[in-house]
Amino acid sequence: MENTQRSAHSAGVEDLIEARGITKKFGDILANDNVDLVIKQGEIHALLGENGAGKSTLVKILYGALEPGAGEILWKGKPVSISNPAAARKLGVGMVFQHFSLFEALSVVENIALALPKGEKIEALSRRITEVSQKYGLPLDPAALVADLPVGIRQRIEIVRCLLQNPSLIIMDEPTSVLTPQEADQLFITLQRLASEGCAILYISHRLEEVKRICHNATIMRHGQVVGSCDPTEETPASLARMMVGGEVHEICASEHKGSPGDVMLKLRNLSIPSDGAFGIELKNVNLNLRGGEIVAVAGVAGNGQSELFDAVSGETLIKDGYGVEICGVPVGKRKINDRRLLGSAFVPEERLGHGAVPGFVLSDNILLTRYKSDPDLIRRGMLNQSLAAEMEKRITVSYDVRMSHDNPEARSLSGGNLQKFVVGRELDRVPKLLVINQPTWGVDAGAAALIRQAIIDLARNGSAVLVISQDLDEIYELADRIAVISRGELSEAEPAAAMTPEKIGLLMAGMGETRSKVTASNAGDVHAH
């Protein structure tokens, strides 16, 4: 079947790397389940899948950053053991990480020199960098300081650093997630050129449009397994999205929410916030009305402004325009987080440990953390009511099934799922009128995820408004009444879940809803021209 699907491009070309039966477990979670993958020389091979589908695990195994539990890897037909990244580099595998391993205080050439064997003079290397970077259309100033460079250029450094090691295979993890459309177009030209020279590329992405555009083959993963492979040039972004999300998924989405819409609990009006630092995302003109009784989900690929949106709604980032955020009809843009809590809202951030909870504090103290203002009985004349906090801790850990080795342990000793149940339970216990929750079940086991999702649905059915920010489409369909998509700081119109097919979400995630990308589409031709 594979042979027929593979394009003429790879016919008769030798297999570069083959992974057979790769299996990897993390605790109870099967991250990779008997995964097979073949990459030919000179092909751009897409690895598609949602967050948590097992792509990163597989890639880390190929790069020697993780050891597989079972399975073998063949390099040009011979079995090899890739025990660490250095061994991978020696074989000829290079990797461009989503989170770069760069040194901000150092120049471009210094960053690259650190990854290469010693001996080469900085001046000679600078010349080589200029040469290679121009050859592949990735212009770089070797003397520039990384701290001064935008994210897109930083990625170029990683790519050039990779290229200077003369790799036969380059693994790229979500390379366009940090690029502007123009930069992405430039990257595609580079990748095609590399492929034409015989270098294979394993390309991991969510953006279906670009996979269709540049990849010769695609392997699709879901829940740790390979669920199919295809020639993306013969597919549509819609059919790719269906394969990635799984056909059965959106059947659950039929919403039970038929009651009359409640009052507007959260209103975002032309919310714009400039980006903070090089890795921050600028929020652009975000609008949203969220009513009591409904769950609105914000879908999107990581790093498109989700945490900025969360901070603006929670009040950790204050904004100049008080009316940019309204909670329960009160403009709160300039009000702090506890004022917003007092209005009846509750927040669950993405990072459980270190943001939602203090790692070294016991659970009852962590209850005080977010509830000392909203529950007046917890503080009497400046004094903590620790017995009440302990009571609440018992109540919450029992009703949300938080499993602990002993009563009231430190937050850091809990497993991810149990801590998340606690952090969510701490807020739901108040029965807030508005719940804003970022990545409710990220990295959480299936049992805990089901419990948390059920609790969120129950809250909404009792009349509260819920804003869920998530990167997990399964979760979004399970929960949402309406869905909006965030992409590069812009939020699409929230539409009924039934009207939002996975194809449509995929397209919006891929940037089709952005105002800016329309401009780019017309420019794309120019870029291709040279």
Partner 1 sequence: MRIELVKRAEHSQTMTVVSPLIAIALTLVCGSILFAAMGYNPVEALYAYFIEPLTTSWSIEELLVKAGPLILIAVGLSVCFLSNSWNIGAEGQFTMGAVAGSVIPVLFYDYTGVMALPLMIVMGVLGGMAWASIPAFLKVRFGTNEILTSLMLVYIAQYILDFLVRGPWRDPDGFNFPESRLFDAAHVLPKIGEGRLHIGMIFAVIAVLAVWWMLSRTLKGFEIKVMGETPRAGRFAGFSSKGVIWFGFLVSGGLAGLAGMAEVSGSIEQLTPVISPGYGFTAIIVAFLGRLNPVGILFAGLLLGLSYIGGEAAQVSLGLTDKITRVFQGMLLFFVLACDTLILYKFKVVSNAKRIKEAANV
Partner 2 sequence: MSDISMIEAVLLTIITASTPLLLAAIGELVVERSGVLNLGVEGMMIVGAVIGFAATQATGSPYVGIVAAMLAGIAMSVLFGFLTLNLMTNQVATGLALTILGLGLSGMIGEAFIGQPGISLKPIAIPGLSEIPFVGSLLFNQDILVYTSYGLVIAVYLVLFKSRTGLIIRAVGDNHSSAHALGYSVISVRYLAVMFGGACAGLAGAYLSLIYTPQWVEGMTAGRGWIALALVVFASWRPARALVGAYLFGAVSILQFHAQAAGIGLPTQLMSALPYLATIVVLIVISRNKNLAKVNTPACLGKPFVPDR
Which residues contact partner 1 by CB under 8 A? Answer: 65-67, 83-84, 314, 316, 336-338, 341, 347, 349, 351, 354-361, 365, 368-370, 372-373, 379, 382-384, 386, 405, 409-410, 412-413
The tokens for 37 are: 């993958």
Report the residue number, 114 or 446, with the smaller CB distance to partner 2: 114
Report the residue number, 166 or 522, with the smaller CB distance to partner 2: 166
- Across the beta sheet with 325-327, the strand order is 283-291, 264-273, 325-327, 330-331
The tokens for 371 are: 């509830």
Query: Do residues 118 and 146 make contact, with C-beta atoms less than 8 angstroms apart?
Result: no
Residue listed under structure tokens 């325009």 = 321
Q: Which does 113 bind (CB under 5 to 8 A by kind): partner 1, partner 2, none?
A: partner 2
Q: How many helices (H) and strands (E) does the chain have?
A: 18, 23
Q: Which does 468 bind (CB under 5 to 8 A by kind): partner 1, partner 2, none?
A: none
For 334-365, give one letter per residue: b (16+ CB within 10 A) or e: ebebeebbebbbbbbbbebeeebbbeeebbbb
Q: Output the CA angle 470-474-478, nearest 5 degrees.
A: 90
Q: Which does 33 bind (CB under 5 to 8 A by kind): partner 2, partner 1, none?
A: none
Smallest gap from residue 353 Cβ to partner 1 (A) = 9
Smallest gap from residue 125 Cβ to partner 2 (A) = 11
Q: Which does 223 bind (CB under 5 to 8 A by kind): partner 1, partner 2, none?
A: none
Smallest gap from residue 39 Cβ to partner 1 (A) = 23
Strand partners, 93: 169
Smallest gap from residue 86 Cβ to partner 2 (A) = 6
Report the residue number, 111 or 439, with the smaller CB distance to partner 2: 111
Residue listed under structure tokens 């953006």 = 207
Helix ranges, 206-327 (H): 208-214, 237-245, 306-314
Q: Which does 379 bind (CB under 5 to 8 A by kind): partner 1, partner 2, none?
A: partner 1
DSSP characters over 179-194: S-HHHHHHHHHHHHHH
Report the residue number, 105 or 499, with the smaller CB distance to partner 2: 105
Report the residue number, 159 or 266, with the smaller CB distance to partner 2: 159
Report the residue number, 103 or 407, with the smaller CB distance to partner 2: 103
Query: Do residues 283 and 320 make contact, with C-beta atoms less than 8 angstroms apart?
Result: no
Strand partners, 435: 346, 466
Q: Which does 114 bind (CB under 5 to 8 A by kind): partner 2, partner 1, none?
A: partner 2
Residues of the shown chain interacting with partner 2 in the complex, contacts defined by CB under 8 A: 85-86, 101-106, 110, 113-115, 118, 147
Report the residue number, 119 or 247, with the smaller CB distance to partner 2: 119
DSSP E strand stretches across 192-282:
200-205, 217-222, 225-230, 264-273
Smallest gap from residue 372 Cβ to partner 1 (A) = 6
